[in-house]
Each structure stands twice: as C-alpha cells, then as structure tokens.
Amino acid sequence: MKILLVDDEDLSRKAINNFLTNYLGFTVDQFHDPKAALNCWHSEHHSLVISDIKMPGMSGLDLLKTIKASPDSQYTDVILITRHADLNSSIQALRSGAWDYLIKPIDVEELAAVINKAQEHLTLLKENEEYKNDFDEKLSANTAEVHTKLKKISSAYSDIVGIGKIGVFSDKMKHIKDLAIRFHLDRSIPVLITGETGTGKEILARMIHYGEGLETTPFVTINCSSITSSLFESELFGYEGGSFTGSKKTGTIGKLEMAQGGSIFLDEIGDMPLDLQPKLLRVIQQKEMYRVGGVKKIELDVRFICATNRDIPSMIGEGTFRKDLFYRLNAGSLHIPALKERKEDIVPLAQMFLRDFSESKKRRFKLISKVAMNILESYEWPGNVRELQNTIERATVLYDDIELKPSHIDFLGEITEEFSEPEKVLGNNDIVINLPENGITLEELEEYLIKKILKKFDGNKSKVAQYLNVSRNTIRRKLKEI
C-alpha cells in the first residue's frame, strides 16, 4: 500500500515516516506543503493519505474535502492528525469523510491499528467490486486472506500477542514497559509487580512473559488469595497418588510443572501461606521441586512473576511475609502508579477504550468532549484503569453518539457537579457559572442548563419553557437532541 504523508512539522513527519517505512514496510511520499502533496495524489495513486489538520496554505480539512470530491478517491482513505484542543475540527473531519483521526503526539500502536483497519476496508471495497456477482462466497475466502496479510505486517508496536491492547502513553508507563521488555529477555530473574488493584498488574506480567514477539511457551496463573492453605501446596507442586485422603490414585501435576519452559504468575503473593514461603524460596533458588508425597526430584525451567497490592515491607515487620523471599522476588521490581498519579494517561486511555467498545458494540462514538475530559481527569479513580474501562464500557452500553458527553458519565457522581454548575443568582439577570479551563461548547452548556432547570421543576416541561421564555415544543426538541 502506498501512503501520502502531509505534515508541516518536520520532526513529526519524519518520525511517522520512519515508523511507516522501517517498521511497517510501506512506501511513503512525504510533503510539508499540502498543495504539493495534492498534486502528487492526482498524478500517482495513494491508497492512504495521512495529514495534519492545521497547516499553512491549505488545511488538512480542505485537503480532505478536495480529495473526497474527486472521482478518483473511491479507493483512498484519509486519516487526519489533530490535538486535544481541536476537537471541533475532528468532528468536522469525520463528517467530511475522514476514515479516522489521531491525536498528537502520535501513539504508534494506535497508528498501526488504524492503518490495518483502513487497509482491510480498502481491500474489501476492491474485492466487493470485483466479486459483486458472487459476493457472499468470494468475501469469506478473501477476508481470511486479508487477515493473514495484515498479521504479517504487525510489528513491535502492534497489539502484543497473548496480552491484548495495551495503552502506554505517559513517560512513566513507557519506562515501565521498557523495563518489562528487558525482564522478558532474562528468564532467570524473578519479578515482583506492585500496585493498587486495577492498575494492570496481570497485563504487565503477560508483557514480561510474551515480550514483543510471538511467545508460544505456557503462561500459567495462580491466585494466592483464592486457594485455601490446605490445598495450596498440592495446587502449586502437584502430588503423588495416594499421598493424602481423597487424592487421585494416579496423582497430578501442579501449576509449576504446567509452566515448564514458560512462566508462572503468582498473583496476590502477599496472601501466600507463611509455611509455604520457604518452600517457594527453595524452588526459585534451586530450580527443582518435589511433588507432595513424592521422592523424585523434578528439574524446573520456569520464570517466576509475582504481583501484590499489599505493603510487603510492612508485612515483613509484622512477621507475615518472609524477608528472604521478598529480597529474592524483588530482584526484578516493577511498581505501577495509581491512575490518579499519572493523570496524563486518563484521557488517552479513555479514548482507546471508547474506540474499542464503540467498535465491538456497534456504536458511533469517536470523540470525548472537553468537559467530559475535565470530568475524567478530576475523578480519583479508586478502581484505577479497570474502573475507567468499566466506566467507558457502561457509557457505550447506555448511549450512542459521536461524542462522549458529561451526561453519558454522570453516574460517576458529584464530580460532574464541579463543571459548569451555576453557583448563585446575583440579580435578575446575573448568573455566576464555574467554567472549565479548557473550554465548553455551547451545546454542552445548553444541555446542562436545561437538565438543571428540569430538575428544579421536577420534570415539568411547561414550567421549564416558561422559565426560559421559549415554547414547550422547543424544550421537547432540545430534549430529543440531548
């Protein structure tokens, strides 16, 4: 696929060009001048155009409209690049026929995913034209071929095999990801991952196991808090037949043996029974074990990854966790900060979840409004990334719109009241309103005021219309738009 790249910012354009050519293997024609780029598009076919929106001489929106107005644009998709502060242009771009938009600074993982989808879209369009006489039969076979080709161009920046999509946006998380990849390269180092519930400790554990490539060795998990002390040892080490009452005659292997050649993930390691901790320490150090009731030594080739949301140093002081085991596990240490400590991740993560859930639930959501962004960034997120993900999923289940608005996430509670809420009436016509620093659209302000006045009059539309000095039909129409 041939790509036309247009961006007047040299550093940005060169970075994107390097990723497209060196990592994804595409042929790219790059321009800083949008008019020159348009001339190139007219003379040579480009399946994909990636353009910045704000450029001197000709905006990305004008470039998009010119291309889409041409009969030659049937098999050309356009992706526009924008910033958080330019959401109105993003909405206009989608309405003008843009395939998608990306927010600067560009996340290469997201760029690769959007290009993959655009390429699949263009391929299916061409095949639909070619095989329209026997569409159903041909589409099935060729879609499988398209997916196979797309997988071949997946790179280190695409979704990680066995993990799913990972949002790495802030410098803190990029550093943590880099450390995880380093630990992946040395299976002999035990890794201890700490962080609050919902921060993504298991996802990080899978990243350590799978790295950035195709890893086929087993990844075995065991939750130390969900197994009773009496069963924990046999669950971890397995047992020989007849070693205890109720055991199988043939015996069974434990999770450690299941993980041979791969990794075992001991989640909630802080809840591991104290009497088993020295046995685990010996296994990690000696790389060997015995089944419960067994006499045969079993050599182990297993990577140990552990995680906890508890304060292990405090547990050591209380005598509920062994100091020597902690020091051994902590050879590779990773701490994931709470989401409230890395607020710069909140909006990009929310946008990633919004895109994914919109696609899976067949919704139209593409953008997050400025006020909704402010609400998301001001919320404390006690459940961290997991709570944010659940919040966006709930919004996409309950609503369907182009833009995620404050009303779509009002279930977050009183935090939404901090934005755009009238404080008090100073006089007959004077109202003080707390305005968010990043701006608010007229539609959002109107929606907010109508809802507040509806609440004031217990949903009586006639009184609302009288209060606002408009007709009752106007209020009905506005409520339908909301």
* pLDDT tens-digit readout, 430-470: 455 556 656 677 777 777 788 878 888 888 888 888 888 88
Strand (E) or helix (H) holding 478: helix 472-481
The superfamily CATH assigns to domain 171-337 is P-loop containing nucleotide triphosphate hydrolases (3.40.50.300)
Give dist(CA 402, CA 273) in Å, integer.
51
Residues 312 and 268 sit within 8 Å (Cβ to Cβ): no
Give dist(CA 4, CA 28) in Å, integer.
6
Give dist(CA 132, CA 150) in Å, integer.
23
Give the pLDDT confidence of 289-347 residue by residue, as tens digits: 999 888 899 999 999 999 999 999 999 999 999 999 999 999 899 999 999 999 999 99
Residues belonging to the chain: 482
CATH 1.10.8.60 domain span(s) along the chain:
339-412
58, pLDDT greater than 60: yes
CATH 3.40.50.2300 domain span(s) along the chain:
2-152
Which residue in the block uniquely carries the two structure tokens 């159903």? 136
pLDDT given for residue 158 in this prediction = 35
38, pLDDT greater than 90: yes
pLDDT given for residue 154 in this prediction = 37
Binned at pLDDT 50, 70 and 90, residue 368 comes out as very high
pLDDT given for residue 303 in this prediction = 95
Q: How many CB atoms lie within 10 A of CB 98?
A: 24
98, pLDDT greater than 60: yes
Strand (E) or helix (H) holding 347: helix 346-360
Q: What single letter denotes the amino acid at residue 61?
A: L
DSSP helix/strand/coil, 223: strand
Task: Could you please state the CATH topology (level 3) that the domain comprising 339-412 is classified under.
Answer: Helicase, Ruva Protein; domain 3 (1.10.8)
pLDDT given for residue 169 in this prediction = 83
Binned at pLDDT 50, 70 and 90, residue 197 comes out as very high
127, pLDDT greater than 90: no
Please provide the average confidence, as pLDDT, over all residues in the chain: 83
DSSP assignment letter at 331: T
280, pLDDT greater than 90: yes
Give the pLDDT confidence of 214-245 residue by residue, as tens digits: 677 899 999 998 888 878 888 999 988 866 66
- Beginning with the edge strand found earlier in the chain, give each strand of the sheet holding 100-103 in spatial order: 27-31, 2-6, 48-52, 77-82, 100-103
The superfamily CATH assigns to domain 2-152 is Response regulator (3.40.50.2300)
pTM value is 0.60
473, two tokens: 């039909």
Strand (E) or helix (H) holding 79: strand 77-82
Strand (E) or helix (H) holding 48: strand 48-52
Mean pLDDT within 105-111: 84
pLDDT given for residue 152 in this prediction = 41
Binned at pLDDT 50, 70 and 90, residue 149 comes out as very low
419, pLDDT greater than 90: no
More confident residue, 16 or 247: 16
Give dist(CA 197, CA 220) in Å, integer.
20
pLDDT given for residue 231 in this prediction = 85
413, two tokens: 């509670």
CATH 3.40.50.300 domain span(s) along the chain:
171-337
Mean pLDDT within 374-390: 92
Give the pLDDT confidence of 201-214 residue by residue, as tens digits: 999 999 999 887 66
Give dist(CA 180, CA 175) in Å, integer.
9
359, pLDDT greater than 70: yes
Give dist(CA 377, CA 343) in Å, integer.
6
pLDDT above 90 covers what percent of the chain?
47
Mean pLDDT within 20-35: 91
Alpha helices in 399-471, H assignment, sequence order: 442-456, 461-468
Phi first, then psi, for residue 167 (nearest 5°) are: -95, 110
Residue of 258, 231, 257 whose CA lies nearest to 246? 231
Residues 159 and 109 sit within 8 Å (Cβ to Cβ): yes
pLDDT given for residue 347 in this prediction = 92
Residue of 362, 27, 11, 386 whose CA lies nearest to 198? 386
DSSP helix/strand/coil, 6: strand
Mean pLDDT within 400-415: 84
pLDDT given for residue 304 in this prediction = 96
pLDDT given for residue 162 in this prediction = 42
Binned at pLDDT 50, 70 and 90, residue 102 comes out as confident
More confident residue, 104 or 8: 8
Phi first, then psi, for residue 383 (nearest 5°) are: -95, 5
Q: How many CB atoms lie within 10 A of CB 221?
A: 16
